[in-house]
Structure 1
Amino acid sequence: MNTGVLAFVGRAIQYLVDNPYILGILFLLYVFIFLLSVLFSGPRPGRNPFSVKNVKPVQELITDQKSRDQILKQRFKNHKVPKNLDVVIIGSGIGGLSVGVLLARAGKKVLVLEQHDQAGGCCHTFHDKGFEFDTGIHYIGKMDPSFENRVLMDQLTGGRVEYPLMDEAYDIVAIGDPMKGKVSKFPFVSNKEKIIENLITRFPKEKEGIEKFFKLLKEARHFFTGCVVLKVIPKWLAKLLVSTGLINIIFKAYGKFGKLSLKDVLDSVTDDEELKATLAYIFGDYGVVPSKTPFGLHSVILGHYFSGAHYIRGGPSELAFQMIQVIEEKDGRVLVNAPVSEILMSEKGRAVGVKLRKGDSDVEIFAKHVVSDAGVANTFFHLLPKEVATKSSIYPMINKVGESVSFLTVFVGLNGSKEDLGIQAHNCWHFTRPDLEQLYDEYSALSTEELPNHDVPMMFISFPSAKDPSWHETNPDKSTCLIITWSHYKWFQDWENGRVKHRGEDYESIKTAIGKRMLQQCIKLYPKMEGKVEYFDVGTPLSNKYYLGFQHGEMYGLDHNMARFLPQTSIQLRPKTDIPGLYLTGQDVMSVGLAGGLYGGLLCASALLNRNLYNDLQALQKELKKSEDTEKKQK
């Protein structure tokens, strides 16, 4: 009998060794039972903020600037602060506003504080001399009504925002020196199969490598699932998942493609440098060169637009304009000119509010919870008392990951319609050579004095006015263009203590010279722009610091390198911090971009409400699909 039992146990163990996925299934079953026990024995879950009733018909755009400013530019005054606050949120970017709306819809009293004079963070736009420019949102993927992202966004805005499709060829990759007239162009279109077909036509000898690359893209598409799980389950459980290696079994895409770089993949599929550059072109969207980029991140960003790229009717500020109104409908407020100088702590070490410096006096605002959308580095290096910040497990991780790259942006106002100017509803990614990493290293090594006389090796060119159908309804003979390149804070650090718009002739001379060189290169790509420039201005990393609150002008918060997505980092970089009462939201919780900030807000609201809002969102999506199917049958 004992011999039989031992033999059975031996066979069982051998079976588990031969089929390791069984361990994963058993682990998931255990996690499910654990979460059920938490659900029924822990704090009571908050209210579900999602409902089909939240979405209203799209209304006419409000274009009167005074009316918009009444919503977007509500200056801080003591008497405007709601009483008995549940949550105070630092920063009004998409991460701050999204968590604010979700909590407000769940019955919480919220206050959002913005240091700038306009709410919206990277969603804000600015007007100057008859032109309007966006600052951070240039296109969005997965905004068709059937997508989960769109369902979430409609819940946040009340469904009052439209997302027009850009051209079928939403991104144009242009490689070569435009000053010599030698540029090859490749269009990325709103259909993955067409992209593959076009690539094979353009690079016929690389058919096998192209197909292998897209096969790996498909395999890596669920990269973020493992990353998110490590952020939401208890830390001890996450650490067990990592230490046992089960993370690599259950979440294969995360385990494999978090440690494999984009460069490694490109080198494995082709030796053609131009093809490598074409497949890697979108690295500017997350700001990390291929050798330091986890392939999983690249796969998600590249695939984000395969179903089509969208813009926002009325411009990106329309998102903030509508979301603020939802917060106000629930008795919350979003106030600007409210720079938070400190997170207030109780004697017991709990975050209990924030301090603002207004004039010669300090204003203290108290709440049950504090949420920061100011970025992890800002929060732990500048807002928390040092003795509190340094004890957190998050603190040492910040320097290990590092900060993201910054940008220099040229804002161009043009006389003429998009037809007159030969511009379209697309983006152009221009590289002077295909060796992207060497381009980056060479340009980064330049001194400040050398920059004005050097070609700009990488540019992102966008035409906001061509993407927004409402623009030419009110501005029929004007157009706008943005030209962006990477930049380093060190290049402009000598002028960091100067006042905005008063930094001196040297600063103006250098940034203008760089901007004019970028404009000259752009006009070579779009020659009908020649002689049509009416407005020209340049923003540097110092501008990003002043207007957006980034300490070194870093546009993507923490760097999106491979260290950022390692299990140890993902476990620590979660909405609920190890400082009682303090939560994080935005792109530093999830990833770069509007969608990253959006889901950072969703995770943060889930943690605060003790409720799995992602499950609620999926349930709502199914309800909407069922309703849509019923309507179709009735017709």
Structure 2
Amino acid sequence: MPIGERYAIEKCEARYDVIVIGSGMGGLAAASLLSKAGKKVLVLERHYTAGGFTHTYKRKGYEWDVGVHYIGEVLKEKSLVRRMFDYLTEDQLDWAPMGEVYDRMICGDTQFDFRSGYRELRADLIARFPEEEQGIRRYFQMIREVKNATPLTVAKPMMPLWLRPALWPVSVMGSPNHAEKTTGEVLKELVKNEELRAILATQWGDCGLPPEQSSFFIHAMIAGHYANGAGYPVGGSSRIAETIEPIVKRAGGRILVRAEVARILVKHGSAYGVRMANGDRILADKVISTVGVPNTYRHLLDDHHRNRYGIPNKLDQVKADGGHLCLYVGLKQSAEALNLPKTNLWIFPSLDHDANVARYKEDAKSPFPLVYISFPSAKDPDWQRRFPGKSTIELVTLAPYDWFEAWSDKPWLRRGDEYEALKADFSERLLAHLYERVPQVKGAVDYFELSTPLSTQHFCNYARGEIYGLDHVPQRFAQKWLRPKTPIANLYLGGQDVFVAGVVGAMTGGLMAGATVLGPAVLGLLPKRLGTLPSLLRLFA
């Protein structure tokens, strides 16, 4: 059942305290925080259901998540991430552990299991590569440096502009070099063994860039996020939006779907509402956009305001181009009957991740640079109650938008035989990987369908079908203008482009936007159970 009410102007108040554009994790986090502060919030979502990449969809009697495959730091109630989720959902969201091994790296005969726990993972790596012990220990030290700096990382973009230059050398990334160097550069400095470097970079698909392109900061954020294990929301990822909607409504707000915003209204340098695609105008004291920095600045502002604040020059400094394919598979037996694992599989054609990507982008018929396999129905203990005797699997790989651009002007589901033939070819290749690594499912596959960058473009309105927002290259983290507060008064940015990609990254970006809107008032709102975050915000509010 879709989350949110279908848009109609009659459902809207004359004026809101805050309008939030987009109902992904960033928009939901901002809306929950503001609603708990007593603000009347209107969330506007162009899709048929709220949730963004946390929503689920159903087809042929099956259900799949579209972006929540696993989340770290939610299994321990005292962790900051868990406390953030508990606060935003008022303890209505439960988590199921994925077990001891959350990720498995596979490359030919090479295999490595990522076990839960910093010490356990480090010990396993040292046991396998004893000659690299010093580098391995330094690697984990750097991961912790970034993790320990996270509260400052969050607070810093909300600092007054006059204070930020003085503190910028005290990097929000733990150390200036952690953000300025690529993952590949850092790993080569730390260890010599190629297999070890490949194993350490296994999770590069979680940000969409191979090690020679990604900033080491995002690598460290991802590795640290999962090092103590991972969980999955009980009842599926749509439970996130389901648990937040009542909080918004209780404060007098609403989440409206099929509600496409065409323009942010600005007068005398200040935002005062939005104009909908059908021409309706809705007024608000403040506006938060969580639909991505490029979308916000290129499509929701008029030319006058874009040029007045030098926005085109700023956008030239960043790039967003992380397209993907996802094969959604439905099986006519339960996860238990098929003995499906909870562990994610990361499959690579060779140990050189960057060379794998380069070959693939040159020739689409070359081996996939990675195939990620997730088993959502095995991770969710509530699945069998909802879908008895069935199970699902998802397979993800990269796909440049350019390969599909020729059909971008065609409507969804009507892009022609050539497009469908291309999808069928990719689907069969992905199924071959599934049957090779999980052979027991052969014969149980009942249904499958493939999403492409055009699917992401259609449903999420990202120009090139990117799923991770702005590319996580070193240059991105040097952009001091990527912060919640914009040059336009009463207009704020939230979501993954303000912080980093991923569910928790987007949630944090939403909290940053909400906290910036509230200003010092947020200090009395955030409970002590959020630990160091309120005290850091107090310094910069």
Shorter chain as denominator, the TM-score bin is over 0.9
Q: Where in structure 2 are the equivalents of 1:379-458 lying within 5 Å?
A: 379-446=296-363, 451=364, 453-458=365-370
Question: Which letter maps to 2:93?
Answer: V
| Paired-residue identity, % | 36
Q: Where in structure 2 are the equivalents of 1:119-518 lying within 5 Å?
A: 119-143=50-74, 144-176=76-108, 183-225=109-151, 227-242=153-168, 246-247=169-170, 253-346=174-267, 348-358=268-278, 362-446=279-363, 451=364, 453-518=365-430
For 1:108 and 1:426, the matched residues in 2 are separated by 41
Kept in 2, the 8 Å contact 1:217–1:299? The answer is yes
Kept in 1, the 8 Å contact 2:173–2:217? The answer is no
For 2:229 and 2:514, the matched residues in 1 are separated by 29
Equivalent position SS for 1:558: coil
**Where in structure 1 are there 5+ consecutive unaligned residues?**
1-64, 177-182, 624-635
Q: Where in structure 2 are the equivalents of 1:5-44 lying within 5 Å?
A: none
1:437-463 CA deviation, whole Å, 9 max, x = no partner? 0001111122xxxx3x43323111100
| Structure-1 residue corresponding to 2:474 | 562
For 2:311 and 2:508, the matched residues in 1 are separated by 20
Number of aligned residue pairs: give it.
531
| Structure whose CA Rg is larger | 1
Equivalent position SS for 2:97: coil
- Given candidates 12, 33, 36, the residue that maps to 1:102 is 33
**Where in structure 2 are there 5+ consecutive unaligned residues?**
533-541
1:250-282 CA deviation, whole Å, 9 max, x = no partner? x68232311222112211232322211100111
Equivalent position SS for 1:290: coil
Kept in 2, the 8 Å contact 1:591–1:597? The answer is yes
State the Cα RMSD in Å: 1.9
TM-score by length of 1: 0.81
For 1:576 and 1:501, the matched residues in 2 are separated by 39
Q: Which segment drifts farther, 271-280 or 463-472? A: 271-280
For 1:606 and 1:385, the matched residues in 2 are separated by 27
1:331-362 CA deviation, whole Å, 9 max, x = no partner? 1000011111111122x12111111123xxx1
The answer to whether structure 1 residue 583 and structure 2 residue 492 are counterparts is yes
Larger relative contact order (CA 8 Å, sep ≥ 6): 2
For 1:211 and 1:620, the matched residues in 2 are separated by 31
Kept in 2, the 8 Å contact 1:224–1:254? The answer is no
Q: How far off is 1:389 after superposition?
A: 1.4
For 2:205 and 2:110, the matched residues in 1 are separated by 19
The answer to whether structure 1 residue 596 and structure 2 residue 517 are counterparts is no
1:153-178 CA deviation, whole Å, 9 max, x = no partner? 112112111011112101111112xx
For 1:612 and 1:522, the matched residues in 2 are separated by 51
Question: Which letter maps to 2:358?
Answer: D
For 2:233 and 2:173, the matched residues in 1 are separated by 35
Kept in 2, the 8 Å contact 1:82–1:109? The answer is no
The answer to whether structure 1 residue 525 and structure 2 residue 434 are counterparts is no
Equivalent position SS for 1:320: helix
More helix by share: 1
For 1:618 and 1:191, the matched residues in 2 are separated by 28
1:540-568 CA deviation, whole Å, 9 max, x = no partner? 000001111211111011111101112xx
For 1:615 and 1:227, the matched residues in 2 are separated by 21
Equivalent position SS for 1:315: coil
Structure 1 pair 252–323 and aligned structure 2 pair: CA distance change class (3 A): closer
Q: How far off is 1:84 after superposition?
A: 2.6
Structure 1 pair 615–274 and aligned structure 2 pair: CA distance change class (3 A): farther
Question: Which letter maps to 1:408?
Answer: L
TM-score by length of 2: 0.94
Question: Which letter maps to 2:91?
Answer: G
Equivalent position SS for 1:503: coil
1:495-533 CA deviation, whole Å, 9 max, x = no partner? 001110111010011012111101111210111111111
- Given candidates 112, 133, 154, the residue that maps to 2:43 is 112
1:363-422 CA deviation, whole Å, 9 max, x = no partner? 111111111011100000111001101232554222212114111110001122223323
| Structure-1 residue corresponding to 2:483 | 574
